[in-house]
Amino acid sequence: MTVDVAQRSPLLQVTGLTIDAGHRVRLVDDVDLTVTAGERVALVGESGSGKSVTARALMRLDDALTLSGSVRLGDTEILDCSERQLSSVRGHRIGMVFQDPMSALDPLQTIGAQVSEPLRQRGVAKKAALRRAAEVLSELGVARAGDRLGAYPHEFSGGMRQRVVLAMALVGEPEILIADEPTTALDVRVQQQLLALLDNITRERGLGLLLITHDLGVVAGIADRVAVMYSGRIVEDRPAAEVFADPAHPYTAGLLAAVPRLDHRPHRMTTIDGAPPSPGARPPGCAFHPRCPVALDHCARVLPSTRTHPAGGHIACHRETGHSR
- Residue 53 sits in a domain whose CATH number is 3.40.50.300
User: pLDDT tens digits, residue range 131-167?
Assistant: 999 999 999 989 999 999 999 999 998 889 989 999 9
> Is residue 122 one of the residues assigned to a domain?
yes
pLDDT tens track for 41-94: 999 999 989 999 999 999 999 999 999 999 999 999 999 999 989 988 988 899
The dihedral over CA atoms of 37, 12, 288, 301, expressed in degrees to the nearest 10, equals: 130
Q: Is the pLDDT of residue 2 over 50?
A: no
**Assigned domain for 325 exists:** no
Last residue of a domain, one of 171, 190, 208: 171
Residue 189 has pLDDT above 70, yes or no: yes
* Within a domain: 30: yes
What does each C-alpha distance from 19 to 89, 165, 318 come to in angstroms?
Answer: 20, 27, 25
Q: Is the pLDDT of residue 259 over 90?
A: no
pLDDT at 216: 83
By the 8 A CB rule, do 13 and 72 touch? yes
Q: Does 216 lie in the same domain as 75?
A: yes
> pTM score, two decimals?
0.89
In this predicted structure, what is the pLDDT of residue 262? 57
Do 85 and 203 fall into the same domain? yes
Does the pLDDT of residue 191 top 70, yes or no? Answer: yes
Mean pLDDT of 235-251: 94
The pLDDT of residue 58 is 94
DSSP 174-210: -SEEEEESTTTT--HHHHHHHHHHHHHHHHHHT-EEE
Tell me the Ramachandran region of residue 62: left when phi exceeds 0, alpha when psi lies from -120 to 50, beta otherwise: beta
> Are 59 and 14 within one domain?
yes
pLDDT in tens, 193-232: 888 888 888 888 889 999 999 888 788 888 999 999 999 9
In the chain, the number of structural domains is 2
Please report whether residue 311 resides in a domain: no
Q: What is the pLDDT of residue 325?
A: 40
Is 117 part of any domain? Answer: yes
Higher pLDDT, residue 258 or 265: 258
In 3D, which of 232, 242, 168, 246 has the Cα closest to residue 17?
A: 232
Residues 124 and 12 grouped into a single domain: no
Query: Which residue range is the domain that position 137 belongs to?
Result: 107-171
* pLDDT attached to residue 192: 83
* Bridge partners, residue 211, by sequence: 42, 179
Phi, psi (deg, nearest 5) at residue 36: -100, 165
Is pLDDT of 190 > 90?
Answer: no
Query: Is residue 245, in this structure, part of any structural domain at all?
Result: yes
* Residue range 260-278: mean pLDDT, rounded: 73
pLDDT of residue 324: 43
